[in-house]
Amino acid sequence: MKKITVLLILACVSISFAQATDNKYQEAMLSTIEALNAATQNEEYQSCANKFERIALAEKNLWLPYYYASYACVLVSFNEADPGRKDIILDKAQLLLDSAFAKTTSESELYVLQAFLYPSRIMVDPMTRGMIYVEKCFQSLETAKTLNPANPRAYFLLGVMKLNIPESMGGGIEVAKACFMEAREKFLTFKAENPLMPLWGEEANNSELQKLGL
């Protein structure tokens, strides 16, 4: 009887420890996501990237911390004017994203982020990299849509890509409009699996629609 009691106590302690650890992770993620959403300067984006990476190192089996660390690095790259420095930042973003992919290859959001990363690669050398990364971007978005047809970010980024390539290549304003409108409908009905899941893109999608008079 005493042995059973000890085992029950140990089980309760183990459960309590696991819950405390999970709560600490949730709190750290939520506070850093909030900081990232409020960020406007590269120093702030980089600070968030560093925090997410520290969380990732502590929670090695989870893909979301690596995802957000990579996402923050991509945001830094968009504001970096020096091509060489931009590539270094994107190399880091890709390594973090690869770490997320190592945890799962069936998450739509990871392929959306991969597509989000590629345009910054293009901007380093548009003439040389344009066709290579545009194709890779479309491939990533198609995979994202296949894995989760309800993911609005896939349709938003597809609209951005279509808007910036000529009609002869399947782009143009009318095609982009359709993508942005579909993204808007999906943003209205999208339900995140948990509070830590990505929610970005709706404001930017609405902005693109406004620019197009919709």
- The residues spanned by each domain of the chain are 2-107
pLDDT tens digits along 62-101: 999 999 999 999 999 999 999 999 999 999 999 999 999 9
pLDDT tens across the length of the chain (214 residues): 555 544 444 343 334 334 445 789 999 999 999 999 999 999 999 999 999 999 999 998 999 999 999 999 999 999 999 999 999 999 999 999 999 999 999 999 999 999 999 999 999 999 899 889 999 999 999 999 999 999 999 999 999 999 998 888 888 999 999 999 999 999 999 988 899 999 999 999 999 999 988 8
Q: Mean of the per-residue pLDDT values for the chain?
A: 90
Q: What is the pLDDT of residue 119?
A: 94
What pLDDT score does 96 carry? 98
Q: What is the 3-state secondary structure (H, E, C) of the chain?
A: CHHHHHHHHHHHHHHHHHHHHHHHHHHHHHHHHHHHHHCCCHHHHHHHHHHHHHHHHHCCCCCHHHHHHHHHHHHHHHCCCCHHHHHHHHHHHHHHHHHHHHHCCCCHHHHHHHHHHHHHHHHHCHHHHHHHHHHHHHHHHHHHHHHCCCCHHHHHHHHHHHHCCCHHHCCCHHHHHHHHHHHHHHHHHCCCCCCCCCCCCHHHHHHHHHHCCC
What pLDDT sits at residue 117? 98
Q: What is the pLDDT of residue 169?
A: 81
